[in-house]
Chains A and B, each alone.
Chain A
Amino acid sequence: MSRRRHSDEGDAGSQPHKRRRTSEPIEIEDRLESLICRVGEKSTSSLESNLEGLAGVLEADLPNYKGKILRILCAVARLLPEKLTVYTTLVGLLNARNYNFGGEFVEAMIRQLKETLKSNLYSEALYLVRFLSDLVNCHVIAAPSMVAMFENFVSVTQEEDIPQVRSDWYVYAVLSSLPWVGKELYEKKDVEMDRLFNQIEGYLKRRQKTHVPMLQVWTAEKPHPQEEYLDCLWAQVQKLKKDRWQERHILRPYIAFDSVLCEALQHNLPPFTPPAHSDDAVYPMPHVVFRMFDYTDAPEGPVMPGSHSVERFVIEENLHCIIKSHWRERKTCAAQLLSYPGRNKIPLNYHIVEVIFGELFQLPSPPHIDVMYTALLIELCKLQPGSLPQVLAQATEMMYMRLDTMNTTCIDRLLNWFSHHLSNFQFRWSWDDWADCLTQDIEKPKPKFVKEVLEKCMRLSYHQRIVDIVPPSFSALIPANPVCSYKYEEETEIPLPGLAMATTVSNAIKNRASNEEILIVLKDVPNPNQDDDDDEGDGFNPLKIEVFLQTLLHLAAKSFSHSFSALAKFHEVLKNLTESDEGKLHILRVLYEFWRNHPQMISVLVDKLIRTQIVDCAAVANWIFSPEMAHDFTRFYVWEILHSTIRKMNKHVQKIQKELDEAKEKLEKQQNKKQRDSGDEEDMEKNSEDEEGQLEEQIERLQEKVESAQSEQKNLFLVIFQRFIMLLTEHLVRCETSGIDINTSWYKNCIERLQQIFLMHHVIIQQYVGTLENLLFTAELDHHILAVYQQFCALQL
């Protein structure tokens, strides 16, 4: 971090201390970038004097580097929203010294705003709007012209036939700027602002909120309602208005420069028409505001601002922005979060923990990869070892207490986080505090959670470790020792059919038999399902599959690598045995039977079986929903497998689509080249024609491949949804006829798993909505099930 005093900045053209071959202007541009980016960081001088100094430097560099400075300032406006007011002050100072520059900056910002909106970069557009609005406070932009822009934004709510998420964004852009500029705008244009408020209020009253239940982390309203984001912000802005726009949290460096900035001439924003809606527009999805703490939770020190206070909004926004800027650098991110300006007046650790869990639990998906949050929390614990771990423990305890109403998808993420976190801290936890779960039915959320956490902890360590870390009273929740179950191992009274064959196969494999030799050996296995017509004996033979696979898995049980090798070596045999759909289903059954105590092994082997095309994705889906798997249906590992299977299917389609697109591009290039080269010698022309012909053939093949892959993908989702509907309908009907409450633990789990499919794969499923509606999610469906589908559709309306 640069600690140069501002008197040094004057020698922008002085000698560098190393000889470089790069020319000076590039060095100067880099320095300008560095100076601008770093202003506002920790420094020996005050922020005001740093800003003053930097403004002086930039003013001096304007004649030669105006373009670069404009670009850098536009970029920080877009990419460093957590330092908004630092940069608006800087622009204010520059405008005061150079009116034309101020004008050019405003124009560049408007251009940038248009571009971000056209490119679907809605969060960046939001930061730009906020920046512009704060420029009113810095006397760069005239308040009436800002109000006019807001009026144009709000008039989007009058547009017809647009998705709700479009008008939502424009209203959000206005409301989320008001904490910064509400006071100023109201002072100058209260009549117009009141009119805007009425329009916004009317819009908020009539907009659809079907999507909300699907996005809530907890279904309970207490202790903190999970509010829809626009509703929450509206309440916060209304409260701010009632408080006459008195807002004391935002850092406003421009106040110190008021006498200078007052003298500046202001610019009018050019009239801004929001770009029209187009079909490629992808507006941000709605979200729910995650709250888990309130003023009763921080035992000492500063009080947490209320849920409808604007301070709460600003703090949360800024913390989210810091994470967005620095998520790749976990140490920097942690340091930046902990040095949040104004931290002395708020219980910062609580805010940080709440914001982080808010992101981790965000539905449909977190803004960043789950494991980032684990790593970030560990860094925060390292930097604040005396306080943060306690807040984290308190948060964990609170979430445990509220598991009964927590969304299943969020419980998954919680248990993944918690087990991974514990593995970094020697699994130390006060398990006894959770002894209440021991008296509950094991399917209830609390004991289930503990059981799944212990299973995940075991995967990161080993069975005995888990036995050692929990009190003896928890033994019922300890996972099974992950050993295999070889059915031909023990002596049974009546020898199992296939026992002798198993020994033969085992010996053959040990003697390095080839695939053909094994197949010959297996020909002698009798088929319990045999029809007399099936002379060849090539039909589905469950006993053959059992004998071979049990034996193979047993020989290879030592490790993942051993098992993978075994599957690879005998790929031919396995392919042969699983030609039919029944064969594919049975191989999964046998795999499960053998490894039922080691879900992790089942998971990785299913993955390999799919990747080596021994089973297809639909077979895995059918297996998961089969009656044999009913008792494991609510276990976490099953859903890990299903989602992993769906992801593989999706990646497969994407891959072939990409190949097709690349081939098409190649053809286009080829054709362009041909046009340019036409008139060349005959040989060359013929060669290029051949190439073109080959490419066209390839494209046709790939086109077919894509269609076939997409058809498989659609079929996979149809199978899954169909099975869900069958299971849920059965349950609902049974409950209705017996007069029992439908809301069993199983039902909550199942319906939320259905929701989870929609949420985790919403982009892909969107493509097949027509088919889904026609075939499955029709009006005749029980309304409990149909509601999930309708909520999903409401996400992008």
Chain B
Amino acid sequence: MSIKLNALFSDSYVDISQYRDQHFKGNRYEQEKLLKQSCTLYVGNLSFYTTEEQVHELFSKSGDVKRIIIGLDKVKKTACGFCFVEYYTRADAENAMRFINGTRLDDRIIRTDWDAGFKEGRQFGRGKSGGQVRDEYRQDYDPARGGYGKLVQKS
């Protein structure tokens, strides 16, 4: 009886993206396998001032949150605009991808993506100046993310 009609019932918000962590210890296949089972989300485009409490309130709307790890500037050890949200179940994380990704937190459209799982060290920005890479090179002025990009600031 049951055929699934793949042509119609897509669930595209839950698909894994093109991003792969370059620092991941393992091959592409292993990373993808983990992404497809993961209960952890990367959350990006946060304001530097967004708190753990705000993240918790928003992401609890799709299920019980196990843990939140706020991303930090490697040098300053202050929030640098991203975090990880880990759920107890995959289903709850999927609902976050479907209904919280692309909506606003602290007035900013945030973006969520699957993460292979938090490991110590991954809470730090990988940009040369200590924050995220994207803040190294961007040209625009974003008061919630330290103003101009680092490259612009140095020039």
Contacts and interface: CB of A to CB of B under 8 A. Distances in A.
Interface of A: 30, 33-34, 37-38, 71-72, 74-76, 79-80, 111-112, 115-116, 325, 328-330, 369-372, 374-375, 378, 416, 420, 423-424, 426, 456, 459-462, 559-561, 564, 600-601, 604, 607, 644, 647
Given A38-B7, A76-B5, A559-B53, 5 more contacts: A112-B1, A329-B10, A375-B98, A461-B54, A604-B56
Nearest to B95: A369
Q: Sorted from nearest, which 3 A-B pairs have the closest CB atoms?
A: A375-B99, A459-B57, A371-B61
B41 interface: no
Interface string B61-82: 1101001111000000000000
Interface stretch (B18-26, B102-110, B125-133, B134-142): B102-110
Contacts of A329: 10-13, 98
Contacts of A330: 13, 98-99
Given A37-B5, A375-B103, A426-B107, A600 B57 contact: yes
A378 B103 contact: yes
B27 interface: no
Given A330-B99, A372-B98, A600-B53, A460 B8 contact: no
Contact of A71 (B3, B12, B57): B3
Contacts of A325: 8-9
A372 B61 CA distance: 10
A109 B54 CA distance: 51
Contacts of A111: 1
A423 B55 CA distance: 13
B99 A371 contact: yes
B99 A369 contact: yes
A264 to B, nearest CB: 26
Contact of B56 (A30, A420, A560): A560
Contacts of A423: 104-105
Contacts of B99: 330, 369, 371-372, 374-375
A33 B1 contact: no
Given A560-B68, A600-B53, A328 B8 contact: no
A74 B1 CA distance: 8
A112 B2 CA distance: 9
A371 B104 contact: no
B155 interface: no
A424 B52 contact: no
Nearest to B103: A424
A33 B6 contact: yes
Nearest to B88: A651
A547 B98 CA distance: 45
Nearest to A561: B52
B100 interface: yes
A375 B103 CA distance: 8
Contact of A33 (B7, B13, B14, B105): B7
B53 A459 contact: yes
A460 B53 CA distance: 8
Nearest to A72: B3
Nearest to A423: B104
18 contacts: A33-B7, A72-B3, A75-B5, A112-B1, A328-B13, A328-B14, A328-B98, A330-B13, A369-B99, A371-B62, A371-B95, A371-B99, A374-B103, A375-B98, A459-B57, A460-B105, A561-B52, A600-B53
B98 A75 contact: no
Contact of B5 (A72, A456, A644): A72
B37 interface: no
A647 B5 CA distance: 34
B127 to A, nearest CB: 23
B16 interface: no
A111 B100 CA distance: 41
B97 to A, nearest CB: 10
Contacts of A112: 1
Q: Which of A34, A111, A328 has the most CB of B within 10 A?
A: A328
A592 B61 CA distance: 24
B147 to A, nearest CB: 21
Nearest to B94: A328
B7 A37 contact: yes
A30 B100 CA distance: 32
A351 B9 CA distance: 24
A440 to B, nearest CB: 28
B153 interface: no
A462 B9 CA distance: 39
B61 A370 contact: yes
B58 interface: yes
A134 B133 CA distance: 59
A1 B155 CA distance: 49
Nearest to B8: A37
A371 B100 contact: yes
A561 B68 contact: yes
Interface in B29-58: 51-54, 56-58
Contacts of B56: 560, 600, 604
Contacts of B62: 369, 371
Contacts of B12: 329
Contacts of A33: 5-7
A559 B7 CA distance: 46
B54 A459 contact: yes
Q: Which of A76, A369, A601 has the most CB of B within 10 A?
A: A369
A523 B14 CA distance: 54
Contacts of B95: 369, 371-372
Nearest to A644: B64
A119 B5 CA distance: 20
Contact of A460 (B9, B10, B54): B54
B52 A460 contact: no
B57 A460 contact: yes
A420 B61 contact: yes
Contacts of B9: 79, 325, 328
Contacts of B61: 370-371, 374, 416, 420
Contacts of B104: 423-424
A1 B62 CA distance: 31
B8 A560 contact: no
A192 B10 CA distance: 44
Contacts of A115: 1
B3 A328 contact: no
Contacts of A72: 3, 5
A560 B52 contact: yes
A703 to B, nearest CB: 25
A558 B10 CA distance: 43
Given A34-B7, A80-B8, A559 B51 contact: yes
Interface string B96-123: 0011100111110000000000000000
A781 to B, nearest CB: 35
Contacts of B7: 30, 33-34, 37-38
Contacts of A369: 62, 95, 99
